[in-house]
Copies of this chain bind each other. A is one copy, B any other.
Amino acid sequence: MEHVARAAGVSRATASRAVTGQGPVSASARDRVLAAARALGYVPDPLARALVAGTGTRLVVAVGGTSAAVLHDPYVARVLAAAAAVGEPAGLGASLVHLPLAGSRVLDGLARDRGVAGLVLVNTTHAVLGALPPRLAGRVASIGTGSAGVAGVDVDTGSGTAAVVEHLLASGRRQVAMVTGPAWLPCTRRAQQGYERAVRAAGLAPRLVPGDFTVAAGEEAVRAVLARWPGTDAVHAVSDAPALGALRALRAAGRRVPDDVAVSGFDDSAAAGLVEPGLTTATHPVEEVAAAAARTALGLAPAPGALFPSVPVLRGSTGARLAG
């Protein structure tokens, strides 16, 4: 910038004002500075800017979970990529950290780290929300559950789930079980409530089995379902991975899908359209949700007022004839 200022015949201060657009600058000076900057190929140093502004240079995506294995989840990778895309224009990178269920050590470290520009919480628990250091205030957004001080950005999982379950019921299923999310994760409650609402509206009783976001959990849950309610004719899972596990376990148990048992999931992951039969699920804009959370954490935009929509995607696993 020294060079730019000299080339334009002004001081560094004026040059700075011209490139940032902040503060008073005469039109002629501004034009000369901008021209010089372009000619010299000047690019402002994000570091120095962040240093003086005290804002940090990276957007941290912190994922709650019982083990660091959650960091390998494809969904988490999508969120990270979306966060990186939001930060890129401003020269901000994205980081990925695991947040143990009961530990504010990581959170404290993040709060002290001056390199942290913003924090996006994934799989947010009340414990995390409660342990959030005050220094982070205003720079945090949560995908899912929010709180008084933390903006929550989320999908209308309740309606999305209810719509999928209603499809199961409309196609004649009467014994519909659900593989729920882990008990420690509050935002999966809404999906569960959507299921319960739909099932009760049809005059049926909910059949809940605990699970999580893994294929293995879906397999195990289905074995539990079949043992407890052998007549089950439909299984809905809190996300696609356990639904795919359910598909496998049902097949292993000799049940035909969708003839004997229908299966549905949630998220419309890449694999949902590839398996045979295709997995009925609900889609929602993962990248958009993550980007909105990232922008909110960075103070680039206010938290969206409404929930992002979730719409059913009907495929063969529930007997639908629509292509996958």
Contacts and interface: CB of A to CB of B under 8 A. Distances in A.
A96 B114 contact: no
A43 B113 contact: yes
B94 A94 contact: yes
Interface stretch (A152-160, A204-212, A270-278): A270-278
Given A93-B92, A276-B251, A51 B58 contact: no
A220 interface: no
A14 B283 CA distance: 57
Given A58-B91, A95-B87, A275-B275, A46 B114 contact: yes
B43 A109 contact: yes
A93 B87 contact: yes
B50 A47 contact: yes
Contacts of A7: none
Contacts of A107: none
Interface stretch (A69-77, A162-170, A305-313): A69-77
A259 interface: no
Count copies of this chain in the complex: 2
Contacts of A96: 81, 84-85, 88
Interface residues of A, number: 49
Interface in A80-126: 80-81, 84-85, 87-88, 91-97, 108-109, 112-115
A319 B138 CA distance: 56
A48 interface: yes
Contacts of A261: none
A287 B71 CA distance: 12
Contacts of A57: 46-47, 57-58, 93, 115
Interface in A247-296: 248, 251, 270-271, 274-276, 287
Interface string A37-61: 0000111011110110000111110
Nearest to A43: B112
A215 interface: yes
A276 B276 contact: yes
A48 B50 CA distance: 9
A43 B77 contact: no
30 contacts: A41-B108, A46-B57, A46-B114, A47-B47, A47-B56, A47-B57, A47-B114, A48-B51, A57-B58, A58-B92, A60-B93, A72-B81, A74-B77, A74-B270, A76-B81, A77-B80, A80-B94, A84-B94, A85-B96, A87-B93, A87-B95, A88-B96, A92-B93, A93-B95, A94-B94, A251-B276, A271-B271, A271-B274, A271-B275, A274-B274
